[in-house]
Each structure stands twice: as C-alpha cells, then as structure tokens.
Amino acid sequence: MKRIEMKISGGCQCGAVRYHASAMLDNSHLCHCRMCQKASGNIFAALVAAPNDALTWTRGKPSVWKSSELVERGFCANCGTPLFFHHLENGRTNLMIGSLDDPHAFPPHANTCTENMVAWFNTITGIENTGATENNGADWAAAIKTSNNQHPDRDTASWPVRWRDD
C-alpha cells in the first residue's frame, strides 16, 4: 500500500467527534464482510485507511467496541455514526469514507470479502435515479434544512452538539 501525504478531516454527524489525518493509504475499498455490514447498517462498508501515526482525534474521542480479538470499531456514542475499523496489529485505521468531510476524494478501488456480497449488489448502478431531494420533496427538504443539527463538512472552532437527552 502506498502512503500519500495529504490532509484530510472528518467526523460524526453531530460534531462531538472529529479527526484529522496527515497521510492516507491508497486502499479505498468496499468491504462486504458480515461484520462490516452490521457495523455500518448497510450492505457494505466503504473504507480507506490512515496510518495510525498520521491520525489524530481533534474533538472528542470515539467510543470503541471490540468486534473480535483482532478488530475494534469506533463510533460516536452520541449520534451513533460509525467512524472506523481498526485491526489491532497492522498499524492503520480504516476510516468510514462517509465520515470524511470530502468522501468524493476516495473512490473505492476494490470489493473485499465478497462471499457476503448481497446477490443484487451488481444491479445498483442500473436502478432509477430520482434526482435531488429538493426536486422531489421540496417541503420535506426545507423542513429538514431549518431544523438540521448535522455538523458541516468542515472543521469548526466550536459546535453546539445536541446530546441524546436534549
């Protein structure tokens, strides 16, 4: 895997947990293993790794659950956003691409653990594209926009995190 010196940032949906990385690895991929499916609540986890020595938590700390003897998974305890998959012995942390401030920067290069790939995965590029929310649900999109608590896709000096019991 090639190490690429670059600056990236990301975090959870509510803004309680944020991170920076000063380098990334060129391993962006979709993992179809059953553990990643469950951890992401999706049919795959989109992941890209940062070397552990390049990753820092800049706001809050993720909660961690050890999903096996070799793997821990990080998430925000407040909003539930899945943040990473960390193999305890390989020196890197695979960040959830959706948690990056710029997820467009890391298109996946491979599908892994395909023994658990859902049978209809290869058909998803052919399904109907119904367009932007604003075009198909303008009232709903406006209501969400006026009450949105989601942290923006950039660092902020401060952010009024709404805690679960607010």
In this structure, what CATH number is given to the domain that contains residue 11? 2.170.150.70
- 108 belongs to a structural domain: yes
Q: Report the number of distinct structural domains present in the chain.
A: 1
Phi-psi region of 159 (alpha: psi -120 to 50; beta: other; left: phi over 0): beta
Tell me if 158 is assigned to some domain. Answer: no
Domain-located, residue 135: no
The model carries a pTM of: 0.89
Structure confidence by residue, pLDDT tens digits, 54-78: 999 999 999 999 999 999 999 999 9
Question: The sheet that has 45-51: what strands, in order across it?
Answer: 63-66, 71-75, 82-87, 92-96, 45-51, 29-31, 110-112
Least confident among 24-33, 44-53, 142-151 = 142-151
Q: How far is residue 115's CA from residue 32's CA, in Å, rounded to a whole number? A: 8
Name the burial class of residue 47, with classes exposed (0-12), middle (13-18) and buried (19+) by CB atoms within 10 angstroms of its CB. Answer: buried
In a domain, 125, yes or no: no
The answer to whether residue 34 sits within a structural domain is yes
Distance CA 57, CA 108 (A): 24
Identify whether 127 is part of a domain. Answer: no
Give 86-145 pLDDT, tens digit per residue. Answer: 999 999 999 999 999 999 999 999 999 999 999 999 999 999 988 887 777 778 777 877
Instruction: Answer yes or no: is 136 within a domain.
Output: no
Is there a domain that residue 71 lies in? Answer: yes
- Segments forming the whole domain that contains residue 27: 3-118
Amino acid, single-letter form, for residue 112: T
Provide the token pair at 67: 């999903």
Confidence class for position 164, pLDDT limits 50, 70, 90:
low
> Average of pLDDT values for 8-35?
97
pLDDT of residue 32: 97
